[in-house]
Amino acid sequence: MADEAPKTAYEIAMQRFRRKDEEGGESRPLTDEQKAAIAEARQVHQARVAEREILHQTALRKAASREEIDQLNEALRRDMERLASDRDSKIAQIRGEKPSRDE
């Protein structure tokens, strides 16, 4: 152990995923319906992200001050995080990993 090199964040994350897989036991393969639903959830996410980025660019062109630009950028960041979280929740629901919190 003393001669091990420090691990990167990526290596640590991969170790955690392996450990989680081992503890989780047997995982079920996805059905074709689940795969299609996941692909649709990802496409919807990409469309929403593209829409939000277009709206953001339009708002940036109209911004009058640096503070306004910073506020717009912060709002975009929050929206992107929310959209990613929504996508991940939907995919987890499809996979049956956790119950839906939206319905």
Each residue's pLDDT tens digit, 18-27:
776 665 545 6
For the stretch 53-80, pLDDT in tens is 999 999 999 999 999 999 999 999 999 9
Amino acid at 102: D
Instruction: Render pLDDT for 77-98 as a digit per residue (tens, 0 to 9).
Output: 999 999 999 999 999 999 887 5
What does the pLDDT average to over 41-50? Answer: 96
Residue 2 forms part of a structural domain: no
Domain tally, the chain: 1
Residue 57 domain-assigned (yes or no): yes
Domain that residue 85 falls in: 42-97
Specify if 58 maps to a domain. yes
Q: What does the block give as tokens for 9?
A: 């964040």
> Which one has a higher pLDDT value, 8 or 52?
52
- Residue 29: its pLDDT value, please? 87
Angle between helices 66-95 and 32-62 (to 10 degrees): 170
d(CA 57, CA 40): 26
